[in-house]
Structure 1
Amino acid sequence: MIALFFLLIVFAMALMGWFPIVLAQVYLILSAVTLLMYGLDKLFAINKKQRISEKTLHVVALLGGWPGAYLGQQLFKHKTSKKTFMRTFWFLVFINAVVLAVICKLY
């Protein structure tokens, strides 16, 4: 719910001219890609295949895919019990929010 609400707010802010619409589109695309990555990583884990690295999941989340990462965590019950992973994830969400606020201020 948090992720969908955030994406709606981002699109509303872009439509109001707070930042370029392309930024909202990037959030949506990266979120979809990240959600897919979490689903694949969960499938790989179940089937004992080579996994997507945590670093890669974090980088994509930081770049704007965190709403999809959050949805993937909840939907697939993936990575939610790893405290260090989740602590890093929420720190990256915070950094992403700060960067978005700076972009809004400068635009």
Structure 2
Amino acid sequence: MSNGRDFENEREQREWDAQEGALRAERMGGRSGDADVAEYRVIARALRTPPLDPLPSDFAVRTAALALREQRIANETVEVWLERGLVALLLIAGGAALLAYRDSLPELSFSVP
């Protein structure tokens, strides 16, 4: 069943036979009880189907633009949360300073000369 091909070992011969059997079974539409033949039938069927539609000519440009936009959105989200955290930290530090220096604050002069 090897069509005159010489194989180095028995495993290669079995693989070849399974592939050829799958092609024949797929052409005839018959069922095979062999698991290897069934797997190769799936491959043979996939190879027979027409290829998918080609990608558009500007696919790479559009994909890069989309990735850049998503990256900017992600970075802006991080920046917004960092900004909020820094403002909160500043408010907490200001409140702590007011509590620490509340006795000294009335002594300060806020008048303009």
Normalising to structure 2: TM-score of the pair? 0.27
Structure with the greater relative contact order (CA < 8 A, sep ≥ 6): 1 or 2?
1
Greater Rg by CA = 2
> In proportion to residue count, which structure has more helix?
1
Normalising to structure 1: TM-score of the pair? 0.28
